[in-house]
Amino acid sequence: MKPARSKTPARKPISRPKGSNMMSKDPVQVYCRLRPMQSLTDVSCMTVESDKIVVIMPPGSTVNFRTNKEIKTTFSHVFKSDVTQREIFETVALPLVENLINGRNGLLFTYGVTGSGKTYTMTGEPQDAGIMPRCLDVIFNTIANYQTKKFVFKPDKLNGFDIQSQTDAMLERQFQAGLLQRARFDKHHKVDSDGDSKPVVAHKRNESQSVSVEADNAYAVFVTYVEIYNNSVYDLLDEDYARTKTLQSKIVREDGNKNMYVHAVTEIEVKSAEEAFELFQRGQWKRHVEYTALNAESSRSHSVFTIRLVQAPLDSEGEQVMQTKQVVCVSQLSLVDLAGSERTNRTKNTGQRLREAGNINNSLMTLRSCLEILRENQNQGTNKIVPYRDSKLTHLFKNYFDGEGQVRMIVCVNPRADDYDETIQVMKFAEMTQEVHITRPTTVKLDLGFTPGRRQANKIFKEARSKLEKEGRPEAADLNIDLGLVYSLGGSFPQLETITSDNDQMIQSLIQYLEQRINKRNILRADLQKKQDDFRRTLMGIEQENVNLKIEAASLKAANIQQKRKISAFEGHVCKSEKQIDDLLRKLNSANERIQILEQELKDRDLALNQRLIDKQRVKQRYNTKMQVETDKLNREFEMRLRQQREHLQNQVKKKDEQLRRVHQIVLDNDINSASKNQAPESTTRVVSPVRDTRVSRKDGIPVSNPRYRRSQSADTWIDHRPQPLVPVGTILQPLMQRRRSVTQLTSPKEIMDGASRYCLVAQEHDTDGELETKLYKGDILPTSGGGAQVVFNDMECLKQSSPKARKRTGPQEEGMDQVDISTLTETKRPRV
């Protein structure tokens, strides 16, 4: 990123011949970090030969097993697996922080396969911070005493900054404080809809060192945090996320100085490392991190945490920031955590994870293609177009590769033999990257001619004036500081290159420069003479004041001797009083010791009484427990005996019921046989074991109904009476009733007499085993002498639906009995309807 300020219009630039390359270039510095082995059974395929060389040995299981040659890769530095986070920071990132303070840009990104430790290197853990937290610590340790108040520098939404006056900055601070207080109130009285209340991880200071800084400048730090997910840029600090729960895609644009930036990104001013780290944690919650087969927390996007340092010089009095936008210098440090390259056959990704892996690999391939074309243009002198726009990642960092900052890369490698194929590709990319040279940026700082050290001078002057005001000197309020001119003839001579003998432009610029130096020298001479005269007069005044102070000191000395005599007398009285106080203190201490002894005895007695009460309570509780156990035991024995007696009585009742059922069956069989002999052969019926009860009229002994009244079975019409509610019995066999009329209740005799000849009543109940029994009581509808009708029940069917998993109770006598499937007649009365 180019500095956001205009060039100094003091003198015209000196023309240079075409083809002269006056800018120096530096190669991209690549560092290698080896991850420790996760398991004792893992086999390593890498060895560290020196602090710059790594040797890779192909294992037998690799795809490239035919090439069994060792591969040596050279880096700027190789960090072994036992290296500390602090050592990596001081070697790789600390020079970038120094460049940031001095107004130069920097880019640091971690590269490697998934699960190689990139995020750990960049972020670290709470107890062992990574590069990013340590960079924040060093920056704020350096500018701690030189920061401006909030909102003095304000982003202009076009990748630049405006300077506000102290009044405007104070008003905006008050407005933001009100918004913050309202947000805290809403957060206290309102719960988020999704219950998202993740705690913020506290930032622990890991670095106490600082770098050199320009003391006469004012500084402010701004941070941004974005991610590149599926080739789209998202703002992780977007304040609308709490309301919409979605992140809007951002656009990468170019500002007026040809610098690339994310349009409408949230840029927040921070005043401490803790505040910046809290913003980073807030963005981490929104970042896309998912589980894969190779990494439990795999980054599915490239994250870019940018620290922007804004600095501007103070005015001539060293108190306020100059209200000129041209003097503002903006430098930035971008910390990039690249997502790991993946192979689908190892990660087993499908669906959305597979699409994410494809976008990650495409962006990394675009980065590799851009670096390869840059290297080719530099080595072979070609002018091919670098495809920065093929990926948002390379498009965003286009300025760094074009020479607007220092670029460094940390290659994180997992030395396991299983990752050999991916490691080889990473090493090839690292070697190629080191061959790319980046133009070294030059920082242009404007020389405004102010006195160096004016901030410290202004501070000392204010302290002195405040001290004089406290001593009661009102004239101190009218004192003003005058730092004067800078005693310097200007910068160094311009670079002169004589190409031809008639280079008038060069001679004219040299004459103009010398005239400026002569004029400045004359001004400085006059100012020096004036200051010498002022100093001489001030010195004479100080000498006169010194004589007066000597006379005053002599009189004060005499008064001091008298005061010392009085003090000696007071000291004698104080000694006597101290002795009396010591005697009283000894008596008081002895009384306090006696009180402590008595209190201890009282505590011991209370403890003994409490112990007795506790013992009594334990005995009582033990007795109650024993009684409860005995009571439970007796209750269980009583219940067992009662259950045995109940089962015995039930078995006896079952035996008697079975015997009665068999006797009843035998009687019914005999009645059926006798009835069949008396009837004609053609009058066989479907009725099973009928029992007739012919009722006789009380007056004349004539039957009310004809018991032999029968209709043709082909003309039978059934009334199917099913009271509600009934359990459905569709899973068992049903009786065949071709023509039937179903009713749920009978309210009048006419409902039976209406063309029906047969009646069926359905009833349900549970047997002794708890199974459901459906009984069908069947009968004939016979006309009565009074013109009505009566129902004579002559058949009963029992439909039993039992569970195949239920355990049936069988007695010893029931096992040998044959089960009777024929329905028996249980109703011998003839109820009238």
pLDDT tens, 369-390? 999 999 998 888 888 999 999 9
What pLDDT score does 495 carry? Answer: 55
Binned at pLDDT 50, 70 and 90, residue 190 comes out as very low
Confirm or deny that 381 is annotated as ligand binding.
no
117 annotated to a ligand binding site? yes
CATH of the domain at 774: 2.60.40.4330
Where is average pLDDT lowest: 145-154, 310-319, 631-640?
A: 310-319
Q: Which of 97, 181, 92, 192 is CA-nearest to residue 135?
A: 97
Sheet strands (E) in 88-215: 106-111, 124-125, 128-129, 153-155, 161-163
Domain end among 390, 414, 439? 439
pLDDT, mean of residues 804-824: 44
pLDDT tier at 511, thresholds 50, 70, 90? confident
Q: Is residue 229 part of a domain?
A: yes
Residue 347: is its pLDDT beyond 70? no
Instruction: Pick from 239-248, 484-493, 787-796 the range whose average pLDDT is largest.
Output: 787-796
Whether residue 51 lies inside any domain: the answer is yes
Residue 407 makes CB contacts below 8 A (sequence gap 6+) with 28, 29, 106, 107, 400, 401, 438
Taking CA atoms, 676 is separated from 451, 665, 671, 679, 795, in Å, by 141, 16, 9, 5, 16
d(CA 822, CA 805): 25
**Residue 304 pLDDT greater than 90, yes or no:** yes
Structure tokens at 22: 């006056």
Split at pLDDT 50, 70, 90, the class of 90 is very high
Q: At what angle do helices 94-101 and 131-142 cross, to 10 degrees?
A: 40
pLDDT digits (tens, 9 = 90+) for 439-474: 877 665 666 667 677 777 778 877 887 888 787 777
**Sequential DSSP letters for 625-675:** HHHHHHHHHHHHHHHHHHHHHHHHHHHHHHHHHHHHHHHHHHHHHHHHHHH
The strand pairing partners of 758, in sequence order, are: 718, 780
Is the pLDDT at 782 greater than 70, yes or no?
A: yes
Span 197-212, pLDDT tens digits? 444 455 677 778 888 8
Q: Provide the pLDDT for residue 85.
A: 93
Burial label, 668 (beta-carbon count in 10 A; 0-12, 13-18, 19+): middle
Taking only the tens place, the pLDDT of each residue in 199-258 is 445 567 777 888 888 888 899 999 999 999 888 999 999 887 767 777 888 999 998 888
Question: Could you tell me how far CA 389 lies from the centroid of its own chain?
Answer: 32
Query: Quick check: is 403 in a domain?
Result: yes
609 and 745 co-located in one domain: no
191 pLDDT band, cuts 50/70/90, is very low
Query: pLDDT grade, residue 515 (50/70/90)?
Result: confident
**pLDDT score at 828:** 32
The annotation status of 112 as a binding-site residue, yes or no, is: yes
The helix (run of H) or strand (run of E) holding residue 413 is strand 406-413
* Distance in angstroms (rounded) separating the CA atoms of residues 386 and 401: 10
Extract the tokens encoding 483: 């730092």
Residue 202 three-state SS: coil
Domain termination residue (choose one: 614, 647, 666): 614
CA angle 194, 197, 200 (to 5 degrees): 150
CA atoms of 467 and 392, how far apart (whole Å): 59
Query: Distance of CA 234 to CAs 67, 119, 283, Å?
Result: 44, 19, 11
CA pair distance 415, 638, nearest whole angstrom? 75
Q: Are 417 and 326 in contact (CB under 8 A)?
A: no
* For residue 123, pLDDT beyond 80: yes
Number of domains in the chain: 3
In a domain, 539, yes or no: no
The answer to whether residue 817 scores a pLDDT higher than 60 is no
The CATH number covering residue 87 comes to: 3.40.850.10
Q: What per-residue confidence (pLDDT) applies to 106?
A: 94
Question: When comparing pLDDT for 741 and 409, which is higher?
Answer: 409
Q: Integer distance in angstroms from the first to the last C-alpha of the chain?
A: 106
Q: Cβ–Cβ contacts within 10 Å for residue 234, how many?
A: 24
Phi-psi region of 193 (alpha: psi -120 to 50; beta: other; left: phi over 0): alpha
Whether 422 contacts 398, CB under 8 Å:
no
Q: Residues 819, 796: contact at Cβ < 8 Å?
A: no
Residue 827 has pLDDT above 50, yes or no: no
Asked if 175 and 306 sit in the same domain, the reply is yes
- CA separation for the pair 728, 772 (Å, rounded): 11
Last residue of a domain, one of 614, 640, 673: 614
Lowest mean pLDDT: which of 337-341, 759-763, 801-805? 801-805
Torsion of CA 780, 784, 787, 793, to 10 degrees: -30
Tokens encoding 730: 């569709």
Tens of pLDDT, residue by residue over 155-175, are 988 888 998 888 888 888 888
26-45 pLDDT, tens digit each: 889 999 999 998 877 778 88
Is 119 marked within a binding site?
A: yes
In a domain, 308, yes or no: yes
Give strand pairing partners of 221: 270, 309
Look-up: residue for tokens 């005693």?
A: 487
> 113 a known binding residue?
yes
Q: What mean pLDDT value characterizes the chain? A: 79
Q: For position 241, what pLDDT does the model report?
A: 72
Residues 6+ apart with CB under 8 A from 8: 444, 446, 447
- Is 124 annotated to bind ligand? no
- Indicate whether 480 pLDDT > 60: yes
Domain encompassing residue 777: 711-728+735-803+818-833
Integer-rounded Cα radius of gyration of the chain: 53
Could you tell me the pLDDT band of residue 821, with boundaries at 50, 70 and 90? Answer: very low
Residue-wise pLDDT tens digits, 655-714? 999 988 888 888 888 878 776 665 544 333 333 333 344 444 444 444 455 555 555 555
Task: Report if residue 747 sits inside a domain.
Answer: yes
Q: 725 pLDDT band (50/70/90 cuts)?
A: confident
The more confidently predicted of residues 496 and 98 is 98
Residue 562 has pLDDT above 50, yes or no: yes
Residue 98 falls inside a structural domain: yes
| Pair (575, 724) in one structural domain | no
pLDDT value, residue 44: 84
What count of other Cβ atoms lies within 10 Å of the Cβ of residue 401? 21
Total number of residues shown for the chain: 833
Share of the chain above pLDDT 90, in %: 33
Cα angle: 639, vertex 640, 645; to 5 degrees: 95
Q: Which residue has the higher pLDDT, 793 or 296?
A: 793
What's the CA gap between 418 and 61, in Å, rounded?
8
Asked if the structure places residue 703 within a domain, the reply is no
Lowest-confidence region among 46-50, 283-287, 535-539: 283-287
Euclidean distance between CA atoms 489 and 513, whole angstroms: 10
Residue 725 preceded by cis peptide, ω within 30: yes
Give the residue from 415, 311, 399 showing the smallest Cα distance to 100: 311
Distance of alpha carbon 810 from the chain centroid = 65
pLDDT score for 175: 83
Amino acid, single-letter form, for residue 768: T
Angle, helix 352-380 to helix 420-434, in steps of 10 degrees: 30
> Which of the four pLDDT bands, split at 50, 70 and 90, describes residue 825?
very low
Whether residue 740 is found in the same domain as residue 596: no
CA distances from 225 to 153, 297, 308, 408, 459 (A): 19, 19, 11, 19, 37
Which of the two residues, 562 and 20, has the higher pLDDT score? 562
Asked if residue 804 lies in contact with residue 779, where contact means CB atoms within 8 angstroms, the answer is: no
Lowest mean pLDDT among 352-361, 410-419, 515-524: 352-361
In angstroms, rounded to a whole number, what is the distance separating the alpha carbons of residues 86 and 89? 5
Please report the sign of the dihedral spanned by the C-alpha atoms of residue 455, residue 155, residue 186, residue 198: negative
pLDDT confidence of residue 707? 53
Q: Within 10 A of 397 (CB to CB), how many other CB atoms are there?
A: 22
Q: Is 289 left (phi over 0), alpha (psi -120 to 50) or beta?
A: beta
Q: Residues 219, 340: one domain?
A: yes
Share of the chain above pLDDT 70, in %: 75
CA atoms within 13 A on the CB side of 364: 26
User: What pLDDT, on a 0 to 100 scale, did the predictor assign at position 12?
Assistant: 32
Q: With a threshold of 0.85, does the pTM exceed it?
A: no
- Reduced to 3 states, what is the DSSP secondary structure of residue 596? helix
Own/partner pairs, 656-665, CB within 8 angstroms, 24+ separation: 658/813, 658/814, 658/817, 661/820, 661/824, 662/817, 664/824, 665/820, 665/824
Nearest to 795 by CA among 771, 818, 827: 827
pLDDT at 649: 92
pLDDT score of 57: 87
Asked if residue 382 and residue 250 are part of one domain, the reply reads yes
Query: Alpha helices of 245-299 — where are they, by DSSP H?
Result: 273-286
